[in-house]
Amino acid sequence: MLLHIPGIFTTDEATRIREALEQAEWVDGKVTAGYQSAKAKNNQQLAEGDPLAREISTAMLQRLWNNPLFVSAVLPNKVYPPLFNRYSGGGAFGYHIDNAVRAIKGSPEQVRTDVSATLFFSEPESYDGGDLVIQDTYGEHRVKLAAGDLVVYPASSLHQVEPVTRGARLASFFWIQSMIREDSQRALLFEMDQSIQSLARDVADHPALVRLTGNYHNLLRRWAEV
């Protein structure tokens, strides 16, 4: 399931973050790539211990854990600390699939990468190229969102970032270990949850809502890994 989640940061907040990132010290993006991915990766990243990265990450995670759409769609268990990248001057990241498990630097903890996420900080008209292209069973999806918006999609998807030929594309990327490992099960639960919320707004006293809500939680109980 691919989902656009708007407004994690407001336009003004995203602008301030982007301005701070533009002054940051960037390193070669290959430092966090696996063996195969490194062959296709040509971008820059903030070092994982960079104080600016930690500051923005803390604010991001607070927003995400309190965003009902994100929680409903992803059902997060653990989140890999967000990373930050910069594409410019033809920088790109060719087709690849994200590593299945990632170790958190400086910690014994590991995160199974069920869901990939990208949060955009550059306005789409400020750069040419840089589309996130995701392939799944329904074909090819091209993603280039407004600053402050987030996209989530299965980490098992083949995807790429096309070359940026003008300007710079600044974004954060990270992975989530969901309570629900299988994408098809997460998608079913998401559709059920959204339908229950819609019915609760339109026919709040309908007795079927209790049964539907119970079915949702029974499926979650059956499938969840916590």
Fold of domain 3-178: Jelly Rolls (2.60.120)
What dihedral angle (degrees, nearest 10) is formed by the CA atoms of 68, 86, 183, 59? -30
Distance in angstroms (rounded) separating the CA atoms of residues 35 and 18: 30
Right CATH for 183-223 from 3.90.25, 3.40.50, 4.10.860, 1.10.490 = 4.10.860
Give the H/E segment covering residue 129. strand 128-129
pTM > 0.85: yes
Q: Which ranges in the chain are annotated with CATH 4.10.860?
A: 183-223
Q: Is 137 exposed, middle or buried (0-12, 13-18, 19+ CB in 10 A)?
A: exposed
pLDDT of residue 48: 85
pLDDT score at 202: 93
Q: What is the mean pLDDT of residues 79-89?
A: 96
pLDDT (tens digit, 9 = 90+) per residue, 88-112?
Answer: 999 999 999 999 999 998 899 999 9
Q: Which two tokens stand for residue 22?
A: 């533009």
User: Taking phi first (over 0 means left), then psi (-120 to 50 degrees means alpha), and beta for anything else, what does residue 167 get?
Assistant: left
Return binding residues: 96, 98, 159, 169
* CATH 2.60.120.620 domain residues, the chain: 3-178
List the binding residues for 2-oxoglutarate.
Answer: 169
List the binding residues for Fe cation. Answer: 96, 98, 159
